[in-house]
Amino acid sequence: MDTITVNKFRDNLKSVVEEVISKHEPLKVTRRAGEAFVVMSADDWEREQETLYVLQNRSLMKQIADSLATHTRNQGYKPTDEQMNEITGI
């Protein structure tokens, strides 16, 4: 994560925000007399929240682990060619 001072952030607000949004990388802004803060796009923040929800949901994580185990053993659901064509839009 890149870091910038609050003064540079304030002086270049528009270009810094555009860069944060386009690169999809958070930016740490440091303050001389206080705590630092992080700037990130709203879309990236929502994705982070979704990821945290999944990681904290034991039931969902168990389903994912079970699915991975099934896939590893090559015992998972295998769609027909027709179903694959429908899924892929071919």
SS (H, E, C) 32-62: CCEEEEEECCHHHHHHHHHHHHHHHCHHHHH
Residue 86 belongs to a domain: no
Q: What is the pLDDT tens value at each position of the chain, 90 positions in all? A: 999 999 999 999 999 999 999 999 999 999 999 899 999 999 999 999 999 999 999 999 999 999 999 989 988 888 899 999 998 987
Model confidence over 21-46: pLDDT tens digits?
999 999 999 999 989 999 999 999 99
- Give the structural domain span for 11: 2-40
The CATH number for 20's domain is 3.40.1620.10
Say yes or no: 45 and 58 in one domain: yes
Supply the mean pLDDT for the chain.
94
Residue 25 belongs to a domain: yes
The tally of domains found in the chain comes to 2
* CA distance to 5, 6, 34, 69, per residue, from 62 (Å): 42, 43, 41, 10
